[in-house]
């Protein structure tokens, strides 16, 4: 089974509109077609970002976010990265590469093409939600 890492922006997008992140989350992750990889640090970022007041303008966002987080936690394979990296300028994004390193994830899916300018980290392919979706079809 493929192992994937979802950047926080992908989870947020999946909760706001039906687009590629939504399909990946609901069809692949919740459809048990892939294994989601998480670390405590990434999970905490999910919680912090999804609870930002700016998302309250979207109907039922917080309720949906709580359900999604609970489901993600129950399905995820949890890893504790030991390697600390300093590759990406936005320091907080290095945790995704650290998770990729220890989990040996197949894909890191992110909408952040400004900071993730490389196409892979070791054997983990870094890809946008659209590219990932189109690759799977």
pLDDT at 133: 95
Average confidence (pLDDT) over 131-136: 93
- CATH value at residue 131: 3.40.50.1010
Long-range contacts, stretch 61-65, CB < 8 angstroms, 24+ apart: 61/15, 61/16, 64/15, 65/15
Query: pTM of the prediction?
Result: 0.94
Say yes or no to pLDDT of 57 above 70.
yes
Say yes or no to pLDDT of 92 above 90.
no
Looking at residue 124, the DSSP 8-state letter turns out to be E
Say yes or no to pLDDT of 99 above 70.
yes
CA–CA gap between residue 24 and residue 9 (Å, rounded):
13
Q: Which of 32, 36, 12 is nearest to 22 (CA)?
A: 12
Mean pLDDT of the chain, nearest integer: 94
Average confidence (pLDDT) over 30-38: 96
For the chain, what is the domain count?
Answer: 1
Domain that residue 51 falls in: 2-136
CA–CA gap between residue 106 and residue 120 (Å, rounded):
10
CA–CA gap between residue 130 and residue 135 (Å, rounded):
8
CA–CA gap between residue 40 and residue 48 (Å, rounded):
12
pLDDT at 88: 85
């Amino acid at each position: 089974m493929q192992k994937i890492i979802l950047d926080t922006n992908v989870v947020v997008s999946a909760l706001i509109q039906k687009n590629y992140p939504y399909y990946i989350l609901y069809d692949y992750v919740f459809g048990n077609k892939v294994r989601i990889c998480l670390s405590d640090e990434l999970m905490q970022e999910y919680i912090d970002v999804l609870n930002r007041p700016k998302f309250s303008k979207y109907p039922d966002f917080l309720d949906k976010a709580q359900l999604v987080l609970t489901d993600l936690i129950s399905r995820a394979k949890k890893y504790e990265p030991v390697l600390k990296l300093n590759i990406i300028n936005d320091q907080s994004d290095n945790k995704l590469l650290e998770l990729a390193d220890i989990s040996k994830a197949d894909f890191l899916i992110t909408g952040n093409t400004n900071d993730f300018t490389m196409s892979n980290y070791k054997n983990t392919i870094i890809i946008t939600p659209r590219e990932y979706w189109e690759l799977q079809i």
